[in-house]
Structures are given as structure tokens and as C-alpha cells.
Amino acid sequence: MRKYLGIIVIAVLVLLLISAGAIVGLYTDWLWFNNIGFGVVFSKMVVNQIGMGLVMGLLFFGIVYGNLWYARRIAPPPSPMGLEHQLIERLGSLARRGIGIVIFLASIIVSIMMALEAATHWQNWLMYTSASSFGVIDPVFGKDIGFYVFKMPFISYAYGWLFFALAVATITSAAIHYADEAIEVFGNRIQFAPKVKAHLGVLIALMFFLKAYGYRLAMYGLLNSQGAQFDGAGYTDIHARIPAMWILIVVTIIGGLLVLMNIARRGVGLAIAGFVGVIGASILVGGIYPAMVEQFSVQPNQKDKEAPYISRAIEATQIAYGLGDVHTKLFAANDTLTADQAVANKATIENIRLWDSDHLQQAYNQIQTLQQYYHFGDVDVDRYWLTDPKTGEKQYRQVWLSARELDQSRLAEGSQTWVNLHLQYTHGYGYVMSPVNEMDSEGKPNFFVKDISPRTAVGLPMDQMSAYFGELTNNYVFVKTSAQEFNFPGDGGKTTKYKATSGIQVGGFLRKLVMAIKYSDINILLNENIQSDSRILYDRDIETRMTKALPFLRFDSDPYLVTANGKLYWIRDAYTITDAYPYSKRQLMPDGTYVNYIRNSVKVVVDAYTGAVDAYIVEKPLNDPIIETYRKMYPGILKPVSQMPKELKEHLRYPEDLFQIQTALYARWHYDKDNPNGFYNNADLWKIPGKAELGTSSDQAATVMEPYYVIMKLPGEDSEEFMLMTPYVRAGERANMVSWICAKCDPKDYGRIELYQFPNQKNVYGPQQIVARVNQDPVISSRLSLWGQKGSTVGTGNLLVVPIESSLLYVMPVYLISEGNQIPEIKKVIVALGDNIAMESTLDQALSKVIGAQVSVTTLIGAPAAPVKPGAKPVPSADISGLIDQASQQYDKSQAAQRNGDWAEYGKQVNALKATLEELKKKAK
């Protein structure tokens, strides 16, 4: 090996030169992880990646090169006609040495590739060594579920890796032996040089024995096999495939023994017999026999044969997805609601969501960006206890809120200088908040928090509104420099200095050089504003920040903004997942990953000012052994939820992605495990309704309705709660509603899932059926068509189903978007109750019409009460609204008649309009 030492040294130096960028990246990542207090994640990741790569790379090199070296060592002397002999004659001993060097270098290159691939499996090794028990035993092999989740991934990888290494060693050794004329074929006979047959025989026998172990692993894999009706081992697997695999294990071991016995005999007859025996057994026992059992025994009696395995699948699927404890209740689904019931559920009705996220985000960006470089990238729904300034009372209100982030790409073209991008325009400022159901007199959002500096009408503190970390903060910035940071516009622009200790201290020239190399930016070295105590903030967008800090978790697609203690925070739900839970049905996550087990065990919080990352465990270890394993793998990183500040804990919510996965699955898997026949027959199949709004295209209708948050009082409860809900309709053409399901979000019963089922004989309209009825209503459809002809865009938000007492209220807002200002305005509200449908200017008016009695249950926080004359009777606002609509229609008709030259019709409509205005005048007195 000494002769190769120089080559190795040169190769290492070349690798160091090539990987300079990677070394810089590794160093800056080390700084970053330590700065946020997650150094243990970095060290575990790097140490195990390097360790895994080195061990597996060296083992691979030892197996492959060791066999190639041995093959060269036992090679017979070259014949006069051999290629190597001719090379020796011409080049002397350099030929043999050159071939040896080529083999050595090739082995190193392939081993490095294998090492790099092995390094990606570092987490499998960590989970193997830190495994936790699920406390649940699989029904086939009697192993704890933790074996399949934590042990099997690494065992399967190690098996595949070793089989590949042996296969490479065998094939390349055989090639070397053949090139060295140690293997020769004479007619139908193969002749081997001394020791060659033993060498190859041992390698091939080892592959046979390893394959036998592979059949044992394949048995375990049957518990996660995919089937048409359910996943996991069915009748054929248990009664045919597993016995067949035991036979194949015996046959394969015998095959390996035959190969070893063949070493001492002439020819290769025994080895071929062993190989043919394994192939034949695989075809007959492993393939044909199970297929015959399935075809002639299972399929004619599938309902009975598969029943016990369907029961296993139902139980495992419900447990794996957290659906094992769904509380089912009956819901009468009445089609009437009294005024007294509406008043008793005032808090529910005044929190019915009218604004949807898309229209509201558009309105925010039109009204509240204030400068071209600000942008509201997303709006988030939440609930807060807010103070009504008129009464001083606290109200539990559902609100939308969004951070006013600085989007550097929106800076004027001439302003996108290096100093502006990296030293001055460093952060966004403030946020806006509006109730989900309120609008001003023009139909625009009614704001609880707005403007710069933020103004609040609901008593929320505003201490630190600068947002250095968010959803749009994609650039690195330097803070604590001699340059003034832009804070927010006003009086020529307010400036600030960053006061936190976050970020990496720049220090001296070497640290600057490292950062310049990292970002390929010479300006970092040349800029004079950057001082030794300046700090660089990078990986500031919360998507990168969270996934980098916690690479072992999967994240919800929607982080949401929270304001607490006068500061801004981002909260994001994190999941533990696996696809190895026996008998559980695989399901597709929004990010395209297949899972058959999921828990929302962690809530991750990022401070929008400091960038501090805190991860809190909210699931009990017994309910999620995976998070317990992660806690052991990364000590000190995952905190108990008891350490979360109370002000943040109040804003935890059940995550939408998880709820979508659960509800989509539960539509098929809601059967009791003791009712496998019902599951097999699809006797009660549900589905989540398609998108329900006016003008829905066929493509949109194919998109399922998204779950939505509500504040409401559940039947039989005493107070309102914040929860996430979705309706179910019957699968098939008649999409009648059959039930609705909700997940509670408030701390008292967080995570409790309740299902409310309707009586079987009850015919209840589904969301899309309600939309169809609205489309067929001649009054509503004519009004919407008329508005759409005035140069504006008319649209509706998503229809929401809101349970109140034992009835269902369907609510859908109507938006008008002017071509001029492009600001969505809510002009009408459509409400349906049973067979009654109404479209009025306010929710109260539409509700009054479908109930058949005057109700006034919604209030505007901070809105002045309308003056009432002494002795005057309350004005039925629904009448006035109807007269206004009537006047509008008469005016439009008169203008149309004037354009068409129909003066008789014009005069008729003008007289009618005059009469309507007189009636309005009387009612206003």
C-alpha cells in the first residue's frame, strides 16, 4: 500500500480544492445552527453522515477491492498469448503495476459513490439505535410496531447494500479471473485455475444465504403490501405467500450449500442445480401457487375470506391516523331555525366567515400596502379575545390577519442597489387584522388593525412590529452596521437599528471572506458599513429556517401569523410520519409523500424579529413513539408544551393539512372494525363535497371543498369554541349531505374529533346542491347577471355550512370587483335554510328573510350605533334593502330602454322609479 500513498495524498488535495465551497457551506451551517441553539442537530447530522459514509464506504472497498486483490493474487502466470504478457514484453513490470493501480482507483471511486449514497441513510441508523416501543403488537409475527417503523428501514437498506456489494465483488472478480485466463471454457465444460473456483463459489454461496434472509424480510414486508381494498397481508399472503417464503428460504439455503459442495467436485453441475432449484421454486411456489389460491379460493369467497384481515386494516388505519377515538353523535338536521335560536347563538352567527382568503388578500394589497415595496403574501385565520371600545367587553372573535412584509423585488428598479438590498431595506413592518364577517359601507374590509404605525381599535399591544423573518424574506441582510436601516415610511422615512443578538457576528476579515465565498459576493469584503460587531441574518424565510433546523419533521403547508405580547410570531405545525405501519392504508400528503401514519406532535414557533426557533411537543409520547425517538435522537431540541408561553398556546390550532388527510380517509374508513362486511360492500360510502361557489368550473368542481375554521357552539354545549370542520356528502351522483366532522382547537379539548351524523331517512341538501338552487333562483340569477354587465366582475366566495342548534345554515358572500380599482367588495350575502334562500345586503337581513322573523345578531366592534329618534319604531332594514335593489333595477332598465330608443318603456321605468323613491322616503322618516 505504501506505493499508493502519494496517489492518495494528491487525490485528497484535489478533493479539498474542489470541495472548498462545500467546506464553506459546512462551516457557515455550523455557525447558523449554533446561533439558533440547534447545534446538536448539526453535529448529529454531520457526524452520522460522515460516520455512515466512512464505514459503509470502507466496507464496500474492503469487500470489492479485497476480492479483486485476491483474484489478482491467485491468478495463474500469463500465457504467451495473453494481453498482459504482451504488455510485459513491451513495458516490463509497469504493465502489471498499471493494471493494479487502475483496479485500485476504480475501487476507490465506486466506494466513494457508495459512501455518499450511504450517508443519506444516516437518519435510518439513528432511528434504529434510538427506537421506541409502540406498545402495539402486529397480529401476524407478534412484533412491536416499532420494529417495522424504526428497525426495518435500516435492516432493509443494509440487506440491499450488502447484496449489491457481494454482487459487484462476484461479477468483477469473475471478470478478472476470465481476463487472467483463470476461467476457460472448453466445449461444454468450464475449467478453473486452482483456488478460483473456491473464491467464486464462496461469494455465490454467500449471496444465496443472504437471499434466504431476504425472503424473511419479504415476509415482514407483506404487512405493508398494497391491495385493491386494503393494505396489509390478506388471506393469500397469510395462507400462501408466507408458507411459500419459508419453502424458498429452505430451498435457497440448500442452493447455497450445493454451491459450496460443488467447489470440491468437477464442473459446475451442483451449482447450476442449486440455481435452477431456486428459480423454479420462486416461479412455482412463490408465484403460481399464491396466484392459484387467490384465483380459486379467495376471489369466489372474498367477502368471508378477507373479513378478518379487513378488520385488522380498519383498526390499524384508524389508529395510525389518529381516528381511533372519533366521538360520533346524532344531528337532527332540521330545516327551520327560530329567531330565539338565532339570538341564543349570536356569537356563532357573528363569526360566520364572509371574507375568503383570496379576495381578502387582494383587498389588503390594494388598501394597506401603502408603499410599492410592501406586500401581503398570505392571510391567516385565527381567534382572539378582543376589547370592544364602546362597551369595554371582551369578545371571542374570528379574524383574518397578515404581516406587511417587505418584498425587495418590488423596490423601484433604480433602488435595487446592493446597499438597499442588504443593509437598508431589511425588514417588513406591522400587520393588518380584520374580522371575518365585517365590511364598511362600501363593502370593503372593516379593519381592527391597520396602517403604519399600526392603529388598533381593539386594544392589542404594539411593541415590536419589525419583521425580519417571514414568508417573503428570501435575501441575506447585514444589521448593526454604520448604515441606517429603513424602518417604515413617514416624515421622509423612519430608521432603526437592530437590537437583538440574532445572526452571525461578522468579526474579522476571515469571517467576511467566508461569507463572500458563500454568497459569491465581493461587496461583502469591500463595503465599509459592515463592522466587526455587525451581524448577518440569512435563511430568513420561515420555510427554509424551519426545515433546515428540524430536518426530521414534515411541515404543514400553511404557517400562520400570531401577535402576542406586542410582538409578531410565526407558528407552523410539524408532523411525524412513516409509511411502515402494518395494515394501515397509504395516503398521499399535500407535498406528494405517501404515508400510512401521521401525528401533529410538534408546534414550531419563529420570532419574526429575532428569528429564534422553538419546537414544542404537544403530543404525549405514548400517542406518538416517533416523536419520543426524535427526542432521544436530539436531546434538548424538542421542548414540552408546558414551556410554551400562555399567550402563544392560546393560538394553537388543529392543522388543515392533517385534517384534510384524516377526513379524506375517514370517508371510506369510518366503519367499525367489527363491521368488515359493511366496509367490503361500501354500504355507506361518503366523500368530501366539491368546491361550491357560483360560476364553479368543472375543473374546480372536481377539487374538494377545503376545511374551514369556525367559532360556534356545538349542540349541547354551553359556550362557543374555535374548531375546524368539513361536511360529508354521499358518494355518487346525488350529493346529499350525510354528516359533518370537526376538530376542536381550544386548549380545553384540543384535538378532540367529533362526527355528527344525520338520520338515514333525512334528505339534506349538500353544498353543491345549494349552489345549484341559487343558480336556478330567477331573482338572484337575474341580479347577478345584471351586475356583471356593468363593467365589473361578480363572483362569490366559498359556500360554508354552519351548524346552529340542530339546523344547518348555508352562507355565501357575493363580491363585486370594479375594473378600475380591483378591490373586492362584499355587496350581498346569500343564506339558505332548508328550502328557503335569500340574497340581501347583510347577513342579518338574509337571515331574517329565511327565518321569517326579524333578527339582529351581528355587531361591528367599534362601529357607532345608529341614532334613533325618540318614539320611533325600528325600521325593518330588509324592506329598505329590497326597495334599494328595486330602484337600482328600475334605473338600469330605464337606461337600457333609452339606449334602445324605446321611449315608452323608458317613461314607464322612470315613473316606477319615482314611486319607489317616494316609498323609500316614507320609510326613512
Confidence of residue 14 (pLDDT cuts 50, 70, 90): low
Span 692-709, average pLDDT:
70
Q: Can you list the alpha helix ranges (DSSP code H) found in 520-618?
A: 523-526, 542-549
Per-residue pLDDT at 873 exceeds 70? no
3 state SS of 265: coil
Per-residue pLDDT at 790 exceeds 80? no
Confidence of residue 178 (pLDDT cuts 50, 70, 90): confident
User: pLDDT of 518-540, one tens digit each?
Assistant: 999 999 999 999 999 999 999 99
Confidence of residue 20 (pLDDT cuts 50, 70, 90): confident
Question: Is the CB of residue 898 less than 8 Å from the CB of residue 906?
Answer: yes
Amino acid at 683: A
Confidence of residue 697 (pLDDT cuts 50, 70, 90): very low
> What's residue 689's pLDDT?
92
User: pLDDT of 393-448, one tens digit each?
Assistant: 888 999 999 999 999 999 988 889 999 999 999 999 999 999 999 998 889 999 99
Span 483-510, average pLDDT:
89
Q: How far apart are CA 40 and CA 633, in angstroms?
A: 9
Span 801-823, average pLDDT:
90
DSSP letters for 766-819 = -HHHHHHHHHH-HHHHHHHHHHTTTTEEEEE---EEEEETTEEEEEEEEEEEET
Q: Which candidate, 614, 766, 598, places its Cα nearest to that of 690?
A: 766
Within 525-646, strands assigned E span: 535-537, 554-555, 560-564, 567-578, 587-588, 594-595, 597-607, 613-617, 638-640
Span 571-594, average pLDDT:
94
Per-residue pLDDT at 695 exceeds 80? no
> What's residue 908's pLDDT?
75
> What's residue 922's pLDDT?
61
Confidence of residue 392 (pLDDT cuts 50, 70, 90): confident
> What's residue 231's pLDDT?
96
Instruction: Name the average pLDDT for the chain.
Output: 88
> What's residue 874's pLDDT?
37
Per-residue pLDDT at 870 exceeds 70? no
For 62-87, letters b (16+ CB in 10 Å) and e give: ebbbebbbebbeebeebeeeeebeeb
Cβ contacts of 42-46, under 8 Å, gap ≥ 24: 44/126, 44/633, 44/634, 45/122, 45/551
> What's residue 9's pLDDT?
64
Question: Is the CB of residue 646 less than 8 Å from the CB of residue 633?
Answer: no
Question: Is the CB of residue 340 less than 8 Å from the CB of residue 851?
Answer: no
> What's residue 728's pLDDT?
96
> What's residue 793's pLDDT?
84
Q: How far is CA 636 from CA 32, 629, 869, in A?
A: 17, 13, 66
User: pLDDT of 329-338, one tens digit each?
Assistant: 999 999 999 9
> What's residue 868's pLDDT?
31
Question: Is the CB of residue 458 less than 8 Å from the CB of residue 448?
Answer: yes
Q: How far apart are CA 915 and CA 886, in angstroms?
A: 11
Least confident span in 84-88, 181-185, 250-254: 84-88
Q: Which candidate, 445, 258, 278, 482, places its Cα nearest to that of 357?
A: 445
Q: How far apart are CA 384 and CA 396, in angstroms?
A: 6
Confidence of residue 892 (pLDDT cuts 50, 70, 90): low
- β-pair type (485-488, 449-450): unpaired
> What's residue 177's pLDDT?
86
User: pLDDT of 319-353, one tens digit each?
Assistant: 999 999 999 999 999 999 999 999 999 999 999 99
> What's residue 89's pLDDT?
54
Span 625-636, average pLDDT:
96
Per-residue pLDDT at 666 exceeds 50? yes
3 state SS of 563: strand
> What's residue 869's pLDDT?
34
